[in-house]
Structures are given as structure tokens and as C-alpha cells.
Amino acid sequence: MQVQLSKAGQKMDKSSGVRAIMKDINETLAGNTDGICNLSAGNPLILPEVEAVWKKYTQKLLDSPEFGNVVGRYGSSKGYEPLIQAIIKDFNQRYNLELTSKNILITGGSQTLYFIVANVYGGLDQNGQMKKIILPLSPDYTGYSGISLYENSVVSFVPNISIKESEHKFKYHPNFDKLLIDQTSGCVIFSRPANPSGNIITDEEVHKIANAAKKYSVPVFVDSAYATPYPGLNFTEMTPIFGDNIVHCISLSKGGLPGERVGIAIGPEEIIAPLEHFQMNCSIHSSRYGQAIAAMAIESGEMAKLADQVIRPFYKNKFEIFHDALDRFMPKDLPWYVHEGEGSIFGWIWLKDLPITDWELYQILKKEKVLVVPGKDFFPGLTSDWKHKNECIRISLTASKEEIENGIRILARIVQNLYSQP
């Protein structure tokens, strides 16, 4: 049968660029993984200490009379009450807040949360005007490219860049001269720490964005998938920020539960309530097993402890290995820069004036058995012809020390050859 898709159906049927690359990578890996340096993975690693905690609380749940209630009954669209209560208690204590259950919504992973956000606050409004989903700083999470049912509703801005020439380091900053938030904006979303760059927008910058958005009653969603307190994948100090128009969005995926799909929105009741109603219509609620074991891990303090004592040190160490490998192997006289390693599970390399595209570099590296993710798809919503978009690659810190070192050694050789060609 020739199925007829709606406009929204057609939009959602498209495979985003990064999905196409992941397909290519998976096909490469399916062939022969021998000797391959896989620096491309987006999946977090299963850390034994973290897995042990999930096993412990799964057993506790199995042994408790609550088990039947968790898996055998529907629940509230806001989420599983013990998880909501655990979050309220933890966040109120940690950040001196006065959250109640009206401020919390649990979704089926944070990707679902951003999909709901983009279609509740972005897209066509009651007057037929397109409300944009604003990403204040490009590059950002590639998954934002598919969150709206409407074409061209995600809009992003070229950032400012500061460079530490002698250290081969750089950092993105929102460009407030270009960033436009006005009556055509529906919501603002950004990741902090950011995937792919590991950038952490400063507290001052977050306040500045939120204040600009507040003038037009635009809600700001801070995607805290890598932030403190869990999973704690920040390698420099950072403070979660709350406010009248700010929603702090957590994911439990990088804290070790990606399969269970738990996202958490914490924010003002009037922003959260419409999201809950949307969720009620589309999925009723998120699966409750993951929520139940997460509730126990948060309530006991183990979730935050794992973040501080296991997850952060593990990835921070990988970051140091990555930086050390760049220092040792990359040619000192070429214009390559690594983004300041402030957080996330990725390294982000900018090869300024690269003579070929990021995609072509990906293909050359693939032939040398090194898999990276070309950077171009991490600029969702950025229509401008900025050559930087084709000059970056993302390196996953889930790889082993040997893979990272080997991969960077090979990258260095290839980069040297490319820049020396006439």
C-alpha cells in the first residue's frame, strides 16, 4: 500500500544527518571491529558501580509490595510520586528552593521532554504565526533538529569564539549582538554542559538569556543532561539556575539509565502544567520501573554520590587522556583547537581552515579504522553559511585509553598530511 503521510508525518519520517552517520558507523562496525578505534559512540558506558546500584534497587523493588503497583498499574501523568518526592526533597535541600509536586514533570527520557516543549511552546500559534524554538548558541545537541513538527522552526545563532592560541584551546560564547529573542520566539533551549562541545554557558550568560526571554514571556529550558548534581558530568564548577521562566531539565541517561527513559523537568507550575497535559495525550506517562529504582537511588543519596565519586572522575580522567594525546601527537604549528573541557562525555576538535570537509575527513579516518562523528550535524537551526560547520569533529570519551591515544595519533598524521598539501 502506498501510505500517505501528513506534512508532520513527512517531517518526522526524515532521518536526521547524525542518524545517517550512525547507520554508516554501525554498518562499519558490523563488518569487523578488529583494530577499530571507535571514538564515535553516543551511548554512555555501563560502569560496574552504577550498574550494581540499579541491580540493588531492582531487587529491593522485586521484594517489596510496591512492585505490583509499579509495573501493574497506570499512574499519574506527572510521574511516579516517590520519584517526584525524592527530587523535591533533594533539590529543595541542595539549592534552597521551595519546590512542590506542581513544579515537577517526569517524561519518557529528556528527548521526549524537548519534543513536547517544542510543540507546546513552538510551532504555529493561535494567530497562525510561527513561534520559533531558539537555540542561543550553535553548535548544540543534534537531537534538537527533529523536535518540532514544523519545518524551519528551530533557529540558532553563530557564537563568539575565544581562542587560547598557544594552548590550542577555544571556547564558544553566546553572541548577544546577534541573538534575537522577541515576540516570534516560542521557547529557548540549550544544553549546559553542551553536547557536542562540552561548553558550559556561564551563570551570567544564562541570566542574560533568561532576562531577554522574560521580556516576551518566553520559557527557557536548560538541558542539563550532563549537569550537576546527577550525572555530574561537569569538570568545572557550575550552578544549576532556577527562575520565573527557567526550567531545569534532567536526564537520567548519562547517570546510567538510558534504557529506562527518564527525563525530569523542574520549573514554574504554569510552564510545566501544559507539558504534563501534552504527555497525558501522547503517552499517558513514562514507564514506572525506571522511575521506581531512580527514586530509591536519589532518596538514599547514592545517585549524587555515584555522580561525584564514580561517573565524573571516570570521564574527567578520559578527558585528561584525550587532552594529553592531543598535546603529544597533534602538530604544534597547525591551527587545530580543542574546546575547553568543561563537561559532557565528548571532546570537540576544530580544525580551522581544514582543506576538506568534516565529512571527507570522517571518510579518510574511517579507512584508517578510526571512527569519529563529523561535526556538521551539530548545528541544528543554523542556516548561515559558516565554514566552521565543516571544520569540526566530535570524539567520544567512552572509548578506552588505547583507542583514544591511537585514534588521535592517526588523526594527527592525517591532519598533518592534509594541511601540507599545496
Point out which residues bind ligand PLP (CB under 6 A).
Answer: 42, 109-111, 141, 143, 191, 195, 223, 225, 251, 253, 258, 263
**Closest separation in Å from C-beta 416 to ligand PLP:** 31
In angstroms, the CA 89 to CA 94 distance is: 9
Q: Residue 143 or residue 174: which is nearer to ligand PLP going by CB?
A: 143
**Closest separation in Å from C-beta 410 to ligand PLP:** 26
**Alpha carbon 234 to chain centroid, angstroms:** 13
**Closest separation in Å from C-beta 112 to ligand PLP:** 7
CB 104 within 8 A of CB 88: yes
CB 393 within 8 A of CB 358: yes
CB 148 within 8 A of CB 201: no
Q: Residue 191 or residue 245: which is nearer to ligand PLP going by CB?
A: 191
Distances (CA, A) of 27 to 21, 51, 219, 373: 10, 28, 40, 14
**Closest separation in Å from C-beta 307 to ligand PLP:** 15
Q: Residue 303 or residue 415: which is nearer to ligand PLP going by CB?
A: 303
**Closest separation in Å from C-beta 109 to ligand PLP:** 3
CB atoms closer than 10 angstroms to residue 19: 15
CB atoms closer than 10 angstroms to residue 109: 22
**Closest separation in Å from C-beta 396 to ligand PLP:** 11
Burial of 371 (0-12, 13-18, 19+ CB in 10 A): buried
**Closest separation in Å from C-beta 183 to ligand PLP:** 27
CB within 8 A of 141, min separation 6: which ones?
A: 191, 194, 195, 196, 223, 225, 378, 380
Q: How many CA atoms lie within 13 A of 14 on its CB side?
A: 16
Q: Residue 119 or residue 253: which is nearer to ligand PLP going by CB?
A: 253
**Closest separation in Å from C-beta 113 to ligand PLP:** 8
Q: Residue 279 or residue 406: which is nearer to ligand PLP going by CB?
A: 279
DSSP 192-207: SSPTTT-----HHHHH
Helices 288-299 and 81-95 pack at an angle, to 10 degrees, of 30
CB 171 within 8 A of CB 200: no
In angstroms, the CA 203 to CA 316 distance is: 22
**Closest separation in Å from C-beta 21 to ligand PLP:** 14
Q: Residue 46 or residue 124: which is nearer to ligand PLP going by CB?
A: 46
Q: Residue 223 or residue 405: which is nearer to ligand PLP going by CB?
A: 223
In angstroms, the CA 100 to CA 386 distance is: 44
3-class DSSP state for residue 346?
Answer: strand
Q: Residue 110 or residue 119: which is nearer to ligand PLP going by CB?
A: 110
3-state helix, strand, coil in the chain (%, to 5): 45, 15, 40
**Closest separation in Å from C-beta 253 to ligand PLP:** 3
Q: Residue 42 or residue 407: which is nearer to ligand PLP going by CB?
A: 42
Distances (CA, A) of 395 to 40, 222, 324, 409: 6, 23, 14, 13
Q: Residue 142 or residue 245: which is nearer to ligand PLP going by CB?
A: 142
3-class DSSP state for residue 231?
Answer: coil
